[in-house]
């Protein structure tokens, strides 16, 4: 048993989080980082419950990204005004579909769902949107 102290002020990577992805979360202020890490868990949990969906967790454009064969890439990041964003490929009709299903969510054009860092997470809506993105190309 190690008695070495963990470094203060540096959160250890979540279990199973690749080191390069964990490094992308470190610069964010605590409330936003917590929201982004929660989004990560929702994406991975949603994918794990879907038949035939495997997700590769990586970085795209220096943002945590989730790639699935037969799906559309999902990225998460903070915005300049401190919100959390779930990005989708902008030339899909995913955001248009999400707007119809969930008009109460915040959006950025045809590319992202926006979430205030301190607001309650709309987890059911997010799970549904994520599941639609992870299987997007299968339906085409």
Is 21 within the bounds of a domain? no
pLDDT, position 59: 87
Is 127 within the bounds of a domain? yes
Nearest Cα to 105, choosing from 128, 82, 89?
A: 128
pLDDT, position 35: 92
More confident residue, 3 or 52: 52
pLDDT, position 15: 55
Is 12 within the bounds of a domain? no
Sign of the four-CA dihedral 69, 59, 38, 91 = negative
Q: What is the mean pLDDT of the chain?
A: 84
Confidence label for 78 from pLDDT (cuts 50, 70 and 90): very high
Is 8 within the bounds of a domain? no
pLDDT, position 139: 59
Is 44 within the bounds of a domain? yes
Is 13 within the bounds of a domain? no
Nearest Cα to 17, choosing from 40, 39, 33, 35?
A: 40
Confidence label for 2 from pLDDT (cuts 50, 70 and 90): very low
d(CA 109, CA 10): 35
Please tell me the total count of domains within the chain.
1
Contact 63, 69 (CB under 8 A): no
**Residue found by looking up tokens 């470190």 in the block:** 26
Is 74 within the bounds of a domain? yes
Is 9 within the bounds of a domain? no
Reported as a single tens digit per residue, the pLDDT across 36-60 is: 999 999 999 999 888 888 888 888 9
As a whole-number percent, the residues of the chain with pLDDT over 70 amount to: 87
pLDDT, position 20: 85
The CATH number that applies at residue 39 is: 3.90.1150.200
Query: What domain range is 89 assigned to?
Result: 30-139
Beta bridge partners of 59: 64
| DSSP H helices in the chain | 19-25, 30-48, 94-101, 123-134
């Amino acid at each position: 048993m190690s008695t070495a102290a963990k470094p203060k002020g540096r959160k250890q990577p979540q279990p199973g989080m690749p080191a390069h992805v964990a490094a992308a979360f470190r610069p964010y202020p605590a409330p936003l980082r917590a929201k982004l890490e929660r989004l990560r868990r929702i994406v991975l949990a949603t994918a794990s419950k879907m038949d035939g969906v495997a997700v590769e967790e990586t970085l795209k454009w220096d943002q945590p990204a989730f790639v699935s064969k037969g799906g559309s890439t999902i990225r998460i990041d903070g915005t300049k005004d401190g919100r959390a964003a779930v990005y989708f490929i902008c030339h899909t009709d995913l955001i248009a579909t999400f707007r119809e299903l969930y008009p109460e969510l915040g959006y950025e054009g045809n590319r992202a769902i926006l979430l205030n860092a301190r607001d309650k997470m709309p987890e059911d809506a997010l799970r549904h949107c994520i599941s639609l993105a992870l299987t997007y190309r299968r339906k085409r």
